[in-house]
Amino acid sequence: MTRRPPTLSDVARRAGVSYATADRVVNGRAGVSEKATRSVHAAIEALGYVRNVAAANLSQQRVYRFAIVLPAGSNAFFRRVRDLFAEAASRLLPDRISLSIESVEAFDAEALTTRMAALAAARVDGVAVVASDDPQTAAAIAALRARDIPVLTLVSDVPGSQRNAYVGIDNVVAGRTVGRLIRMAHGGRKGRVLPVVGALSAHDHAERLSGMREVIGGAFEIAPVVEGRDRFELVETLVGKALAEDPAITAIYSAGAGNAGLVRVLDALPPGSARPYAFLHELVPHSRRALEEGLIDVIIDQRPEEEVARVIEYLTLLADRRELLRTDPIVPTIFVRENLPQTRADALEQAG
């Protein structure tokens, strides 16, 4: 005969407390004495009780309220991420998950911390945030955690903070990969690399450049870093100026966004002139077109669909006070012109 699993009533009976008290302890609610809490936890361990999270949430009519904080602006990658979260939000409503998608100006630590303080006051069930690595942001994360609100850093980590987990690629490894590709493209020749970032205060951008420098070594010179604030018009101006003033540049590594401006500079080079090798991040419409047209050489894509899925999975587990089953970095995809995936329009045309 199969033994039935222990119930919360069994836990309450063994601990010598009421069902309501056992329920409060198991679901992490306040108002229980330390002695009763210890008794309930001892009963749980002795009986091997496993909380049925789905049943508990259903009985409490619980709705998860998660907030996703993304940079505002013209960044095509974050527009894609925002669209993916919006699609997920409508799909997750029957599962009693409410996603609020917030926007703050990129690289504005004050605006970001103000928004995070409002989320702490609203007592949401979890927050995922794209943030710069600075003391203000770390303090805002600590304030959320002090209210027992789980926090995930997304795309760019804040490693010295109290965040619960990071969701994204290993940016040092991504930079090292680009460094290896730069060496391969030059075929043993020396070169000069122009780095382009949104801001060096962005942890992911700084890590990518660090990884690249580790691999290319002394055979390559590094031109002064362009900080384009992820704004395509600023990137266009600064990269155009750098190429005009420094003809020795043989490769460009754009570790941030604003790449529509970079593509416009490369497209405007005089016919017959030598184009620098170009390595970009994120497969978005303008970078795809540039790769197809031979204006750039490689795209490193961090698979935003996987990032969005992991954020929802992690926040749900953390809100239920369960352990994360995996926290390994997402493995990016390297795209060249020959292995680009079909677009939706191409797939529909072939199906027709």
Distance, CA of 72 to CA of 60 (rounded, Å) = 36
Distance, CA of 224 to CA of 220 (rounded, Å) = 13
What pLDDT score does 350 carry? 44
Distance, CA of 173 to CA of 209 (rounded, Å) = 10
Question: Which among 13-22, 50-59, 205-214 has the top mean pLDDT?
Answer: 205-214
Average pLDDT, integer, range 185-202: 94
8-51 homologous superfamily: lambda repressor-like DNA-binding domains (1.10.260.40)
Q: How confident is the prediction for the chain on average, in pLDDT?
A: 90
What pLDDT score does 60 carry? 52
Average pLDDT, integer, range 121-125: 93
Distance, CA of 9 to CA of 28 (rounded, Å) = 17
Give 132-166 pLDDT, tens digit per residue.
Answer: 888 999 999 999 999 999 999 999 999 989 999 99
Judge whether residue 62 has pLDDT over 80.
Answer: no
- Total Cβ atoms within 10 A of residue 46: 13
Q: Provide the residue type at 162 as one letter.
A: Q
Are 42 and 31 spatial neighbours (Cβ–Cβ below 8 Å)? no
Q: Which CATH architecture has domain 64-168+304-330?
A: 3-Layer(aba) Sandwich (3.40)
Out of 17-21, 85-89, 144-148, least confident range? 17-21
Domain boundaries, the chain: 8-51, 64-168+304-330, 171-301
Give 98-115 pLDDT, tens digit per residue.
Answer: 999 999 998 888 999 999
Average pLDDT, integer, range 33-48: 89
Residue 301 pairs in a beta bridge with 333
Same fold? 64-168+304-330, 171-301: yes
Provide the CATH topology of domain 171-301: Rossmann fold (3.40.50)
